[in-house]
Structure formats: C-alpha cells, structure tokens
Structure 1
Amino acid sequence: MKIAIVICEVFGTVQFRRPIMELLVELGHDVYVIAPRDDYVSTLESIGVEFIDIEFDRYINVWQDIKYVISLYKIFKRERFDIVHTWTIKPNLYGPIVAFLAGNRRIFASITGLGYLFNEDPSIKIRITRAMVRKILFFSFRLCKCVTFQNDDDGNQLVREGVLSKEKVVVIKGSGVVLDNYSSVAVNTVVVETIRACYGILESDIVVFMAARASESKGVNVLLEASRILSSRDSRIRIFLAGEAGGDSIDSISEEVLKKNSGHHFAWVGFQKEIREWLAIADIVIYPSHYREGIPRFLLESLAMGKPIVSTNNVGCREVVDEGVNGYLVPIKDPMSLARAVEKIITEDLFFKFGRESLVRSKAFDHRDVARRMVALYEILPQESS
C-alpha cells in the first residue's frame, strides 16, 4: 500500500513516529511524509521513507492556509495514496477533507493532545478559535475511519462536545518509547561526567530535572517558584530545566526570564537534542504541566530510566504516574504542593522504590506495541470499493 503521513514537522515525525514508519516499511508498504522540510529529512530517507515538501504555517493565517490546502490537494491527486493519516492540529483540520475531495476513502487521524486551545481558562480570542476548530474537526472526523487518542480524556471530551462519535475513538497510550535506548548500558558515561563538571554537580547533590518547552502552560513558572521554595529548605537540591525558550507561542517564557532566575539551585540548560544522560543524572523528575497533553514523551522516557516522578493531576500526566507508587500527582499551578512532593520523596528516601515501579510501568509503553496497534488499524479495516 501507498501510505501518506501528513504532519506539521519532520523532526517530530522522526522523534515520535519512527517505529510506526519502520514497521510499515518492513511490511513492504510505501510510506510518504508530507511536511515542511527541515534538517531531519535525511533521517527519514535513511529508513526508506519518501519525503514530500509542503509550505506550512503552524498558526492561523488565512492566505497561508488556502495555499496549504491547494498544495495538499495537488499532492493527493498526483500520488493517489491508498491511506492518508493526518497528525497534529492543522493537518487534522484540513487533511481529511482535502483527501476525501481528492478521492481517498481510507483516512485516519491522530490527536496527540488537545493543546492550549482546550485548556480550561483560555482567553476570549482562544475560545472563539476553539469554536471554529471544533466545527471544522466535526466535518473532518466524519470522513475518517477512526481517530486515535493517547489518553481517554481527550476522546471523551470531543465525544461530549459532539465533535465525533464514540465508535470512531481508538485509544493507543502514548507514542511509545524504545526501552533499550534508556538502559544503563546505553548511557554515555563520558557525557554524564561532562555535564556534572560543566554545572558543578556533586555526588551529594539531589538533582531534579524537567524537559519541556519553556511556557506557562507547561508549568515552567510553577517550576521557578517551586525551585525558590526548595532551595530555601535544602541546599543539596539542584533543579535543571532543558527546553527551548522564547518562540511565538502565546505563553512562551523568554530566555531573559530564565537566565534571570538561574543560579546555583536552578539552571536553564537550553534545548537538548538528547536528554538520556540528563535523566541518568536526575534523582527526581518533575513535570508541572497544565497543558492538554496526550501522554508526554518526557514522562515516558523518565519511566524507562526508572525515575521517581512528580507531575500534575492533569490529562495525560496521570496516565504515567500511579499516586504513591512511582511518584506523586499534585494540583496544577500549585508550586507549594510541587515542592512538598519533591521533599517527601527525599525525606522518606523513596528514590529506589518509586524508580523500580517506574521501570515496571514503562513496559506498557514499548514502542513495538504502539507501532503494531497503529498499523493494525490500517490492515483490519476493510478497503471500500471505488
């Protein structure tokens, strides 16, 4: 079969969808990724996936969206794919409709988190945008064989809001993680020692680590406040944040703010292409997000590294943390509760107990199982006659 994956970026496709693409190629299918070109196209091609470049604007831009729809239609008509699978918000908005108009009848969509548009307290502008998005998704999802979600909450919400029927909801937990890549054998000890030396991390320090885009919805402002609380109570605690700062997101936190708050007890280390060695150093992982997550990849990687986790009782996050078993769930936007949960792990010496349970839970998110479940959707659903 000739299969198209329509998505907003190649980088994310390589990071999160690679096991699915590799399995499809292994089964003899021709796989194409339709997205804007970036530095990861060569990685796609190295695993036998074809790339089709298309102009794309992440945010609402009427003229750019019209150009995107026209380009997508031309690609679909030219390539005549057997299956079209759309991922992320804008491809999900337009992709199924355009694919249907181009003659395709085997269309799938995946939602990996509803994002800031579906947060509980958006601005009036976002509420208007959300209403428009719901209307378009209603028509797009009617044309899909099914829509996959990473957690139960997201699918249930869209069913309640009348965006799609319950029969089309398929839940596949997370994007999966390559467990072997996070074993102790895979960790580069030279890189670990380099990081320790660069940031003056002592063996006696307690390292708390978070990786996320620097934004309010990811809870970075809560992290900063919690770091001040923790540093005043225990001088051994060192908190590190890895992730891109600034950008054009409406709630981004700038580099200037992060640098201003950096010191001995908190440090922003910028975007890290690979966080495995940082996780190896970490004693505790925290993730105080109130963003509408699917299942955060960072938390899956933390499970695979056997780390105690403190996160929020938020959509997607609670799929990973079992309260009091491998970590704690705290209320959103509550730095004091976040700090207390970290302190509890330290004072009660729960590092090994929680870490062991995280390793056990990680087995449920093996990338091979996720890939097989996704590919099974293509193979078990009957092809309609033209």
Structure 2
Amino acid sequence: MKVMQLLPELNSGGVERGTLEIARALVADGHQSVVVSNGGRLVNQLENEGTTHLTLPIHKKALSSLRQIRPLRKLIETEQPDIVHVRSRVPAWLTHFALKGIPAHKRPHLISTVHGFYSINRYSQIMTQAEKVIAVSDSVVKYITDHYKNCPPQDIVRIFRGIDPKAFPHGYQPSAKWLLDTYKDFPQLEHKFLLCLPGRITRLKGHETLIALIEQLHTQYPQLHAVIVGGADPKKAAYLEEMEKSIASKRLTDKITFVGHRSDIREWLAFCDVALSLSNQAETFGRTALEALSLGTPVVGWNRGGVAEILSRLYPQGLIAADDHAALLQAIQQQVDDPQPVAPVTQFSLKDMCDQTLQLYKQVALSK
C-alpha cells in the first residue's frame, strides 16, 4: 500500500507530529509512505525514518496557491498512491481540484482528518468531503455532525490521538542533574507545591484564571507556587507584559514563575504537583493533559472538548464545570490538602491510534 499525506508545513505542532507518527507506522508495517508539504525542520527526521518527502508550497491561504493544482496533480499521477490523506484545509482544496483532472478510475482514495474546530463555512467544509473523515475525538465527531450535514455519519471515524506510554512512563521523575539545574535557574521553586500551566502564552490558555487562583490561595497556602511553561510569540509580547504588570500589582511576583518555551515538557509535567487545563475554548484533544496523567501527575481542567473526554475516562476527580471558579478553587485546595493519585493510563496509546489508522487505510484501499 502507498499512502501520501498532505499538510502545509513540517515544523511543529499536533498535525505535524501525527503525520510523522503515521508515516513511521506505515514504514514499520511494510508500506510506502510519502509526505507532501512546504518543508520544515522535521523533514530530516521524517526521511531518516523511511518516508519520501516531496516539497510543494501548499501552505499559503492565498489565491496564488491555486498555481499548485497542476504540479500536485502531476505528483499524484507520478507517485500513484493508493490513498491520499489530507490534514489541513489549503492542501485539501488543492487536492480536490487536482483529483478532478485525473480520470475517475485512476484516482486514489481520499481520506481527511479533522484536527480542529475550524470556523464553520464553505472553506472548512472541504475537510468533510472525503471517503472517510477521521475525527480526533468525540467532540470533533459532534462538531462535524452538528455543522456539516453533507457528511454522512457512517463516513466519520473517531480515532483518538495517542501518546507513547514509554515516552511518558507512570511515576517518572526528572534526573538529579535536571533538578539541580532547575533549582539553580529557579531557586524559588524549591520546597513548593507546584501548579503547572503548560502551553504557549495566549489569551486562550487561561493565564488570568491561574493568576486569580494564586491571589485567592497564596495566604492560606504559602507553599503554593505557579509555573507557566510556554513561550510568547513576538506578537504576544504585549500580552505577556500586561500579565507581568498584573502579577506585580497583586504582589504575586514571587508566587508565579514564567519558564519560557521548553523542550523538556516531560520533566516539567513530572516535576510539578498538579497540571492545569484552563483554556477558554475547547481543545480538540488535549495532549498535554494526557501526557501529565500518563506520568502520574494529577490534572485539573474545565469540562470542555477533548480534555474533558480524557479526564472523564482517566481522572474524573480533576474534571471541573467549565468556568466554575469556586469549584476550581475547591479542587486545588483538595489537591494540596489530600493529593489524589492517578492510576496508570492504559487508554489513548499511540499504538492504538496508528493501528486504527492503518486498519482504515487497508479497509478503504480494498473498497472499490
């Protein structure tokens, strides 16, 4: 079987990670794997793992991208994949037009994955116009069935994203060297009960909620300290400054630490006592919450989207009614006074995700 995946670029993010994971699984199972994108820093890894990468500028949401229809059609005709798997809207539209110019009996099968709660319009509808539409959570299944009646329910296949439990083993602890380095860089974190808010600095992630939480609890629990793990894009510098001023005005500078963008997220999630998921909008999956639970770190989060699906199955005591700040306060007090352990995670594995996706490919490839 030959599968061609299409996405805008290969730099970082959940879509990119998923593409690499499926490419690796295809190669391991003896199939041919091809990825088409505008390139990026993950191309080397992809190629080293046995996938062919073809560079095509299919990343821009602009009319000029229509010039790529013919080159993409030529690529598809040359490569002759059994399946084309689109993971983003611009590549999906270009593929739609490219396939129209190929005789029906020579066209590959078409699969899409809906990774996000896209704006509801004709432009986004293209993601639901494939033979099979993969939804990354039950929340995404509901989003598609509620908003895109053109997509037959039997064509939607729910395949949860997954993580490798070996990469996030239950009970994992950072090395002594990591701890020494961290306490050297951030001495204020030693002997504290640490709340971790992972994610980039944007208004969506719930930083204001965290600041209000610390303001309410720091007198009662002097050992409580918040760690914000994530960097600020240059465009978000003003928001970061606004937050820092708010923290200073509340006299909480010694209670909240920004550690910036980190590549050692596993260490931070294992190091902290509780991880938080306080996004103002529903996330389609909630990988970071799953990674924390896999390590054995309790997660407290709003009852929204994919995070709610993970918590309801793995750690229901961490699930809080969305935007119920009193319940959030109570949940954190409970965690400080009497920490609730997390059982080893046996669901949402990377292997399950890959197995189910390859099974779908095979099923579609064998259909007429």
Matched, 1:264 2:250: no
1:84 deviates by: 0.7
Query: 3-state DSSP class of the match of 1:3?
Result: strand
Alpha-carbon deviations, 1:320-368, whole Å to 9, x = none? 1139945322233454443332122212x124x3x2x3x2xx2111211
Indicate whether 1:231 and 2:218 are aligned.
yes
2:141 maps to 1:155: yes
SS at match of 1:321: helix
Q: 1:124 corresponds to which residue?
A: none
Structure 1 match to 2:178: 191
Q: Give distance in 1, aligned partners of 2:318 and 2:256.
A: 21
1:285 alignment counterpart: 275
Q: Tell which deviates more after alignment, 47-56 or 23-32.
A: 47-56
In 1, Cα distance between equivalents of 2:30 and 2:307: 36
Q: Aligned to 2:182, what secondary structure does the other structure show?
A: helix
The structure 1 residue matched to 2:339, chosen from 319, 338, 350, is 350
The 5 A counterparts of 1:121-136 are 130-134=120-124, 136=125
Distance across 2 between alignment mates of 1:225 and 1:366: 35
The aligned amino acid for 1:38 is G
SS at match of 1:364: coil
Question: 1:84 touches 1:106 (CA, 8 Å); kept in 2?
Answer: yes
Structure 1 residue 86: deviation in Å? 1.2
What SS does the aligned partner of 1:160 have? helix
Quote how far apart the aligned CAs of 1:186 are: 7.7
Cα displacement string for residues 21-60 of structure 1 (whole angstroms, at most 9, x for unaligned residues) = 22200122221222222222111111111212232546xx
Once the two structures are TM-superposed, the CA of residue 105 in structure 1 deviates from its matched residue by: 3.5
Match of 2:350 in 1: 367
Pair 1:384–1:325, CA change in 2 (3 A): closer
- Asked if the contact 1:14–1:44 (Cα under 8 Å) also holds between the matched residues in 2, the reply is no
Q: Within 5 A, what are the aligned runs for 1:290-329? A: 290-322=280-312, 325-329=315-319
Q: SS at the partner of 2:46?
A: helix
How many angstroms does 1:4 deviate by? 1.0
Q: Are the structure 2 counterparts of residues 266 and 67 from structure 1 closer, same or farther at C-alpha, using a change threshold of 3 Å?
A: farther
Counterpart residue identity of residue 112, structure 2: A
- Cα distance in 2 between the residues matched to 1:309 and 1:186: 17
Of 199, 202, 205 in structure 2, the residue corresponding to residue 218 of structure 1 is 205
1:79 deviates by 2.6
User: Following superposition, which runs of at least 4 residues in structure 1 exceed 6 angstroms of deviation?
Assistant: none
What is the CA-CA distance between 1:166 and the residue it aligns to? Answer: 0.3
Q: Equivalent residue for 2:84?
A: 84
**Counterpart check, 1:109 vs 2:102:** no
Structure 1 residue corresponding to 2:165, chosen from 154, 168, 179? 179
Distance in 2 (CA, whole Å) between partners of 1:177 and 1:300 is: 8
Contact 2:193–2:225 (Cα < 8 Å) also in 1: yes
SS at match of 2:319: strand
Does residue 98 of the first structure (1) align with residue 88 of the second (2)?
A: no
1:213-269, Cα deviation, whole Å (9 max, x unpaired): 222223233233333333344221111112232366xx9973323444472211222
User: Match for 1:199: what amino acid?
Assistant: F
Rate the CA distance shift 1:212–1:232 in 2: closer, same or farther, 3 A. Answer: same
Task: Give the whole-Å Cα distance in 2 for the aligned partners of 1:146 and 1:191.
Answer: 45
1:120 is matched with none
Partner of 1:55: 57
Equivalent residues of 1:210, 1:240 under 8 A apart: yes
| Structure 2, unpaired ranges of 5+ | none
CA distance in 1, matches of 2:224, 2:312: 24
Take 1:18 and 1:62, find their aligned partners in 2: how far apart are those partners? 26
SS of structure 2 residue aligned to 1:299: helix
Cα gap change, 1:313 to 1:98, in 2 (>3 Å): farther
* Runs of 5+ consecutive residues of structure 1 not aligned to the other structure: 118-129
In structure 1, C-alpha distance between the alignment counterparts of 2:336 and 2:173, rounded to whole Å: 27
Q: CA deviation at 1:110?
A: 0.8
TM-score for both structures, normalised by structure 1: 0.82
Residues 339 and 89 of structure 1, relative CA distance in 2, 3 Å threshold: farther
Deviation at 1:74, TM superposition (A): 4.0
Looking at structure 1, the residues matched to 157 and 204 of structure 2 have their Cα atoms a distance apart, in angstroms, of: 26
Contact 1:106/1:383 (8 A) holds in 2: no
CA contact under 8 A between 2:85 and 2:112: conserved in structure 1? yes
Aligned-pair CA distance for 1:148: 1.0
Shift of 1:163: 4.1
Structure 1 equivalent of residue 360 of structure 2: 377
**Cα separation, partners in 2 of 1:188 and 1:73, compared to 1, 3 Å:** farther
1:145 aligns with 2:131: yes
1:90-135 per-position Cα deviation (integer Å, ceiling 9, x unaligned): 43454345345445331111112315x3xxxxxxxxxxxx32335x
Identity %: 19
Q: 1:271 to 1:378 in 2, by over 3 A?
A: same
